[in-house]
Amino acid sequence: MNIYKKIYREIKKAKTIVIARHVGADPDALGSSLGLKQVILDNFPNKKIYVIGSPAARFRFIGDLDKLPENYDELYKNALLIVTDTPDHRRVDGVDPRRFNRSIKIDHHPFVEQMCQIEWIDDTASSASQMILEFVFKTRLQFTKEAAEKLYAGLIADTNRFLFANSTPKTFELVSKLIKTTNIDITKTYENLYKRPYKEIKFQGYLSENFIITENNVGYIKINDETLKKYNVDAAMPGNMINNFNHINEMLVWVTFTEDKELGSYRVSVRSRGPIINEVLARHGGGGHIYASGARLKTDEEMDSLIYDLDLVTKEYLEKASN
């Protein structure tokens, strides 16, 4: 049986479904989980579906999240868990997938570990949202405009409007089919994703002015809580903005370190236009995609050690490229 059928059968069978995704909600995590919920509800209106995890105010437009009922043991035993956009149990927001009797992973990160019974991993997919599109088109499920718009938002964010190399012929084929069949409002989706208050542009100005760039073209910036307060932005903001610093001649790899006072650590976001970075991040307790990774670090020494290692892979990359 192919993977689409396998997943479809599990969904059809389940009365209650919990959908989870990774901590630090971003549009693909939210789009894939909330989009999947909408698809299932549109096709099976009697199922009980909970999409869980901490919300992100910036991406409220994708949809509202649910609270799980108190009786976790009952859920572990009888509900189907679907985790989207998350490669390992430690990054799942809200539940431990290993406790569920029935579970499915749908993910486009490189494999980290098996945490669900059924795992569909495609690290050539641009986004988890793209995988949900593919799944729906391969089954008897039907799309409504509402579901389609959530998934489109996730795909657009993870491809950065088809800018990244993860936009493949399959991406365009699926999106073309989606637009033909659902009449989604593309302009509205872009407005929702990209409209922002002026204070964010001012903050972006601060970032632009303050990147430090190494000899080997690694740009980095450490942002403390005081600066976040001064610009009235939250600790997720630099990570949300990091793609805006693409295509700068002098930065082949670029990093934001953002103090997260609440958790007493730094959020690290890294992007690359060449050197493979996820292996480096994995050595520093993080992970991610080959050109888009992250981690959490505690001290200045840890941050400097990461910069050192990123600088080293970038140097090696440049040397190879010049040979």
Using CB under 6 A, list all residues that contact ligand AMP: 22, 24, 26, 91, 109, 239, 269, 286-289, 292-296
Order across the sheet with 212-213: list the strands.
212-213, 218-223, 253-260, 265-272, 292-297, 287-288
Nearer to ligand AMP among residue 154 and residue 287 (C-beta) = 287
Nearer to ligand AMP among residue 127 and residue 227 (C-beta) = 127
Nearer to ligand AMP among residue 100 and residue 291 (C-beta) = 291
CB of 321 to ligand AMP, least distance (A): 24
Q: Are 49 and 33 in contact (CB under 8 A)?
A: no
CB of 267 to ligand AMP, least distance (A): 7
Q: Report the amino acid identity of residue 125.
A: A
CB of 297 to ligand AMP, least distance (A): 9
Residue nearest to ligand AMP (CB): 294
**Cα–Cα nearest to 75, from 10, 8, 13, 14:** 14
Q: How far apart, in whole angstroms, are the C-alpha atoms of residue 161 and residue 296?
A: 27
CB of 204 to ligand AMP, least distance (A): 16
Nearer to ligand AMP among residue 81 and residue 92 (C-beta) = 92
CB of 293 to ligand AMP, least distance (A): 4
Nearer to ligand AMP among residue 159 and residue 293 (C-beta) = 293
Nearer to ligand AMP among residue 94 and residue 239 (C-beta) = 239
CB of 282 to ligand AMP, least distance (A): 8
Nearer to ligand AMP among residue 35 and residue 286 (C-beta) = 286
CB of 15 to ligand AMP, least distance (A): 31
